[in-house]
Structure 1
Amino acid sequence: MNIQSIETFRMAVPLKKPFKTALRTVTVAEAIYVKITCDNQITGWGEAPPTHVITGESLLSIEYAIQSILKPAILGKTLLNREKLFQTIQQCLAGNTSAKAAVDMAIYDCLGQKCRLPLYQLLGGYRSKLETDYTVSINEPNEMATDAGKYMADGFNILKIKVGKDTIEKDIQRIQAIRDEVGPSPVIRLDANQGWTVNEAVYAIRRMEDLNLGIELIEQPVSAHDIEGLKKVSQQTLIPIMADESVFSIFDARRVIETRSADMINIKLMKSGGIHQALKINKLAESFGIPCMVGSMIETKLGITAAAHFAASQKNITHFDFDAPLMLSSDPVKGGVIFDKNFITLSEDYGLGVQSVKID
């Protein structure tokens, strides 16, 4: 079962509404799709979105990394020696985690088909259904409250609120307006995307605790590289803190865990370099009793399908952030995971279960 060809395609799908965070505003979901064909005619698919402000990658850099470096390194290699294959992917170039992830998930798609199993079963098979949150992007408090109410009416019980822009007082107004709109029942989690300083984060979180806003957790309150600051925030507040941009690799995860700088870790395939490395991060976290979330960038259903199969396969992954395809104006992927409002069901088709992809 050798790799016969590796093709890349550009994809662009407009969002229904601009998606705003403390780091950027997105109006179009762009991606590089990867298609791997093996000599037994099994084909696997992968996706890599350019997320300059997090991974440092662009469409051009992803294309170059795959076609000029990864492809020559693995073309003709057998998928049956997968440990060696994934080692080659990691070692043939530094960084470029999204490019690696796209190739990684396409390989796993092929392996699942070869074994005649859905990928989540090949990886562990812990569950076949997930509940995703829905993200409220940063806007004025009234608009965010209206959006939150709409998502609740659409059937979502968990809301992920973007903060970290403007002032702390404005962020608190946003959360108060949303809580007033949706009531006490929905789960609310926050994502500051590195938008606060250490002192601002401690102040903001303590204010939210005093106001009893019912916050489940807070993602990446401070700069990704400020592990000491992340630790200070975790130690001086009660709401659980989740590391996101601070953790790309298993080495990052080890540093965060050993220093007790966060209570949870958000694993994203586009940061880790794919499923193979993501499994290692989760197992390390699990050995220390640290639960994980699996999230995504602004991706189409292709990338989300791979992330959902990984997340569903592991007991230690307890939180799921897979709403990105619901933000898009169209779906270029036939097959893959099945969305029913807030619930995601994994197909019993082999591999990722992708039947076809519409390439412009």
Structure 2
Amino acid sequence: MYMKRHFFILHGCLVLVFVSLMAPVAWAKVRIDAIDLKAFSIPLEKQFKTSKGSSSTCYGIFVLIHASDTQNTNRKFTALGSILPRTLVTNESKSDAWSGAVAMRRILIGRTLNDGDLAGDMTLVEDWLDHLDTLAQGQKLTWQNPPTKPRQLRATLSGFDMALLDLVGQVYEKPIADLFEDGNERKTIFRSAATYNATASQKKLAIAAAKLHTDYPAIRIKIGLDFEKDLKRLTATAESIVQSSKPDRVIWVDVNQAWKEAAASLDHLEQIANALIAVGYTQPFLCEQPTSEKDMQALANVTHAIRQWPTQKTMPIKIMADEAIWTLDDIKQVHALDAADMVNIKIQKAGGIVHAMKMGRYLYEHAPHVEIYIGGLVMTDIGAWANIQLCFALPRLDYQTSGAPRRNFPGNPATHPIKYVTGRQLTRPIVHGLGTGLDLQHVQPYITKTH
């Protein structure tokens, strides 16, 4: 505020009048000043195998957004995202993800949040992500098996989605989950299952099924390499569950498209149902993506046929769409064809939390009978924090295995490692933004490239 003096002549007298004027208010904005990209490759302590392949390292790109308040130079932010390209999951090569990230970085530098209008800034971030998505669809890819449009560079987009939401959360002093109002009543979540490799022996699975923590309602097993061996592995697991102190534990298999066709899938599932019922197993049996992701109708055919089986009353089988799910349009197709009882939403395939939320909201509103599972891939606690935020934000959540401590590494790159509160329980995040920063000192030996 300042005072402006005006002089007037009134009846021959000089009168000094002070007029109070309010100076124009310059509203604060938060500007993106710089974005660092750090490619990394961190070795796994134990190799992870599925029917599609194996992993011995966790690789990707850390995205670090540096931003500042335009009115208060002491108010600075560093936001974090994690790009996890996987040729067998997101159909992204490391080189394509890097090129895409460099291009996306250029678009965002210099952009500003309004800082004072959360709804407006969330809309702004969605607009920015749409711009990045458009860039991704136009990007020339070098990978020999690129995904069809609009599925290009989804993991790359998701890394920037994470970092932008982390920034908004820090600016408004809210965890990412609280930036959305859909899941505010959810105070705790549990990890739904422990996952075992496609090569885990029947003996190992039988022991695990009996001794897993009681908080795990299910045991999740990768299958698809050899059906005869898989049948023995599953039968041994079922026998162990029936004889254990937790006979209501659920068997959950991830076929990873290995059975390909509907006919083969129905044949294998019938043999599994007969074998498991024969040893006394009467709990639900969850089956993840038995058919090719490119044939949603085949998945629907399996789902519809199984619902008519008389064994459903004894051991109900639920079919889950996994690899077939990329976008909201895929979710709508599942609904239109009634193709699955469950869907697996992966942040890296959806293109980030914002897109995953749209998918979850659609199912909640239009297909409430379809259960929602939040899955993941090989990642560190940094990627897992994004999954935790999504789990607490969604209007509905039935299963999750991706929001959990990741300890298959020589160390932890997160400044705030994920920890169970008790058993396998996690409580609603309270740290602003993503929930963690990047431990630069720890990850430095694993950084392979920077920009």
TM range (shorter): over 0.9
1:61 and 1:151 map into 2 onto residues whose CA distance is 43
Verify: 1:294 aligned to 2:353, yes or no. no
Q: State the SS of the aligned residue for 2:273.
A: helix
How far is 1:353 from its partner?
1.9
How far is 1:324 from its partner?
7.1
How far is 1:154 from its partner?
8.8
How far is 1:328 from its partner?
3.3
Amino acid corresponding to residue 175 of structure 1 in structure 2:
L
How far is 1:142 from its partner?
2.7
- Aligned CA distance change for structure 1 residues 97 and 147 (closer, same or farther; 3 Å): farther
How far is 1:209 from its partner?
2.6
Verify: 1:260 aligned to 2:332, yes or no. no
Where structure 2 has 5 or more consecutive residues not aligned to the other structure, the ranges are 1-29, 70-75, 114-120, 138-151, 308-316, 445-451
1:60 and 1:151 map into 2 onto residues whose CA distance is 42
Which residue number in structure 1 is paired with residue 354 of structure 2? Answer: 276
Note the alpha carbon deviations across 1:322-346, whole angstroms, 9 max, x for none.
2571433422112154235522334
How far is 1:286 from its partner?
1.3
Q: State the SS of the aligned residue for 1:334.
A: coil
Note the alpha carbon deviations across 1:70-102, whole angstroms, 9 max, x for none.
112222122432232122122122210000000
How far is 1:356 from its partner?
3.7
The runs of 4+ residues in structure 1 deviating greater than 4 Å are: none
- Aligned CA distance change for structure 1 residues 31 and 19 (closer, same or farther; 3 Å): same
1:216 and 1:250 map into 2 onto residues whose CA distance is 26
Moved more, 325-334 or 283-292: 325-334
How far is 1:10 from its partner?
2.3
Verify: 1:72 aligned to 2:106, yes or no. yes
Q: State the SS of the aligned residue for 1:42.
A: strand
Which residue number in structure 2 is paired with residue 119 of structure 1? Answer: 176
How far is 1:143 from its partner?
4.9
1:343 and 1:59 map into 2 onto residues whose CA distance is 34
Equivalent pairs, count: 358
Q: State the SS of the aligned residue for 1:39.
A: strand
Between the aligned residues of both structures, percent identity stands at 24
Amino acid corresponding to residue 133 of structure 2 in structure 1:
Q
Which residue number in structure 2 is paired with residue 235 of structure 1? Answer: 304
Moved more, 221-230 or 287-296: 287-296
Amino acid corresponding to residue 125 of structure 2 in structure 1:
R
Which residue number in structure 1 is paired with residue 87 of structure 2? Answer: 52
Match of 1:30 among 59, 63, 78: 59
Verify: 1:325 aligned to 2:325, yes or no. no
1:208 and 1:150 map into 2 onto residues whose CA distance is 20
Which residue number in structure 2 is paired with residue 217 of structure 1? Answer: 286
- Aligned CA distance change for structure 1 residues 330 and 345 (closer, same or farther; 3 Å): farther
2:49 and 2:375 map into 1 onto residues whose CA distance is 16
Moved more, 276-285 or 138-147: 138-147
Verify: 1:8 aligned to 2:37, yes or no. yes
- Aligned CA distance change for structure 1 residues 156 and 338 (closer, same or farther; 3 Å): same
Where structure 1 has 5 or more consecutive residues not aligned to the other structure, the ranges are none
How far is 1:222 from its partner?
0.8
Moved more, 281-290 or 240-249: 281-290
Which residue number in structure 2 is paired with residue 89 of structure 1? Answer: 132
Note the alpha carbon deviations across 1:123-178, whole angstroms, 9 max, x for none.
232323221121011115335416725861596442211112212x3222111122
Which residue number in structure 2 is paired with residue 312 of structure 1? Answer: 392
- Aligned CA distance change for structure 1 residues 140 and 122 (closer, same or farther; 3 Å): closer
1:151 and 1:324 map into 2 onto residues whose CA distance is 19
Q: TM-score when scaled to structure 1?
A: 0.92
Which residue number in structure 2 is paired with residue 186 of structure 1? Answer: 249
Which residue number in structure 1 is paired with residue 327 of structure 2? Answer: 249
- Are the aligned partners of 1:136 and 1:162 in contact in 2 as well (CA < 8 Å)? yes
Which residue number in structure 2 is paired with residue 353 of structure 1? Answer: 435
Which residue number in structure 2 is paired with residue 141 of structure 1? Answer: 201
Q: State the SS of the aligned residue for 1:261.
A: coil
Which residue number in structure 2 is paired with residue 18 of structure 1? Answer: 47
Which residue number in structure 1 is paired with residue 187 of structure 2? Answer: 128
Q: State the SS of the aligned residue for 1:159.
A: strand
- Are the aligned partners of 2:415 and 2:438 in contact in 1 as well (CA < 8 Å)? yes
1:267 and 1:336 map into 2 onto residues whose CA distance is 23
Moved more, 28-37 or 136-145: 136-145
- Are the aligned partners of 2:80 and 2:437 in contact in 1 as well (CA < 8 Å)? no
More contact order relative to length (CA 8 Å, sep ≥ 6): 1
1:343 and 1:328 map into 2 onto residues whose CA distance is 22
